[in-house]
Amino acid sequence: MIFRVKDMGIATGGPLIATINKRDAEELDLHYGDRVSILTQHHTIVAIINIADGHAVQSGMIGLYEEVMKKLNVRSNSKVSTRLEERPSSLAFIKKKLEGRALSSDELDQLVTDIVKNRLSDIELAYFVAACHLRSMSNYETISLTKAMINTGDILKLRRKVVADKHCTGGVAGNRTTMMVVPICVAAGITMPKTSSRSITSPAGTADTMEVLAKVDFTLKKMKSIVENVGGCIVWGGAINLAPADDRIIRVEHPLSIDSRSQLLASIMAKKASVSATHLLVDIPVDPFGKISTRARAQSLKKDFMSIGMQLGIKTNVVITDGSHPIGHGLGPQLEARDVLWVLMGDERGPEDLRKKSLKLAGIILEMAGKAKKGKGMKKAEALLESGEAYRKMLEMIKAQGGKKPNPEKLHKARFSLEVKASYSGKLTHLNNSILSKIARIAGAPQDKGAGIYMHHSLGSNVGKTQPVYTVFSNNQRRLGYAEDIVKAAKGFRVR
């Protein structure tokens, strides 16, 4: 049936939704939740059907949400055709996994294909996520899932003997080590095409912070050009079709804070294989109140990462680090970008913990890639930083990604602020990542680039009575008021 498009002017945040009139639905025998293919001359997508009365969408019209409009590249009153889609075969595989039975590589291939082509609703995908959480995948299944994720996306093909990558399993506020490690390693002659994420629960992801300095959304072709000319990049992975099933799975996992071990491993390793990585360093921060809460779990994950890396032909090293407190002074895009620039420029205001951790991680990669002898990597990384070579390489990347030479002094904080002070004198013995992240996000980070938290003191330092421990920044006074309500309930630090 041919329909005329109505732009609903609403975004779903991911799911592809189309709405038709009740009369048309009855004529076509369509029901809530049915899948239809929507076709134009050049594009086809599968969407989930909603049904409306004549006031919202008239007969002969099809209401499309923003995600569908964009994928089909259509406007209001454009003509599209539809056809009913059958239930995807992968639903049987999800049920099989819920029953505790192992899935074959062919079944996982089909399941991931259905995820990428949007044949599964979020509810159906949530059952798959829950099944993998409750019925752990075997090593064979995890490898098969990883390969399926790789094969359903694009591959960045680079003719380089060594292509290095780095990943952190997350959960630590601040922690912008990637923006230090990449320029250091690229300055040493290592190719490093870094795709990074935007924030889901933190005040900023690496892509949010890099975006303060340069563009981060590129096509795969443009990303390749930047890497070939400069040696590396720091871009947003969501703009590139690398292991695209991962993005849908993460969106479903987030509301329930489910982080299935097999999907965590497959997600990370698929992304790395998709950029043709030959060498990979994984940072696993341990935080008793965070994502990886015990050292034992971190050690187990380390073993799995190295096993999968070996089977994919990626030389993998894993470090287990302290993730119990923020890294750096700033929490929020502009504040974190300023920290990075200060360290790269050798400014004394640069946070020492960010500098030290970044040099440690960069040093390991330099040794893995043969750019430094064993035990000498951190010293080589420090030399590249202190000589200014790493900073100059960062400036090259910023320019290649459409940015201008940054001035950290002009990275202004937001207009409104709130100082959070110690109630009495003592040593700062605890900083809570999740509480501080929540306060920074309520203040507006990362959408408000200037919002966030500036830490005046680091863990273990002495704090005087009524001395500010951190300052909250926001460009919205009402948001700052909400943040203040959280602070009154829990400040996120302990002084003893």
Q: How many CA atoms lie within 13 A of 378 on its CB side?
A: 8
Amino acid at 85: E
First to last CA, the chain: 71
CA of 445: how far to CAs of 162, 203, 334, 413, 432, in Å? Answer: 36, 5, 9, 12, 17
Amino acid at 84: L
**Whole-angstrom distance, CA of residue 479 vs CA of residue 460:** 30
CA of 38: how far to CAs of 21, 47, 359, in Å? Answer: 16, 7, 51
> What are the phi and psi torsion angles at 328 (to 5°)?
95, 175
**Whole-angstrom distance, CA of residue 331 vs CA of residue 345:** 20
> Does the active-site annotation cover 259?
yes
**Whole-angstrom distance, CA of residue 307 vs CA of residue 350:** 37
> What are the phi and psi torsion angles at 417 (to 5°)?
-145, 160
Q: Which of 18, 28, 37, 121 is nearest to 85 (CA)?
A: 37
Is the distance from CB of 230 to CB of 103 less than 8 angstroms?
A: no
Is the distance from CB of 284 to CB of 247 less than 8 angstroms?
A: no
Question: Which is catalytic among the residues 7, 217, 259, 304?
Answer: 259
Is the distance from CB of 448 to CB of 495 less than 8 angstroms?
A: no
* CB-count burial class (<10 Å; 0-12, 13-18, 19+) for 379: middle
* Count of C-beta atoms within a 10 Å radius of residue 387: 12
**Whole-angstrom distance, CA of residue 209 vs CA of residue 419:** 23
Describe the strand order of the beta sheet including 315-322 as a list of residue ranges: 164-168, 279-286, 315-322
DSSP 229-291: HHSEEEEEGGGS-SSTHHHHHHHHHGGGT---HHHHHHHHHHHHHHTT-SEEEEEEEE-TTSS
> Which residues are known to be catalytic?
259
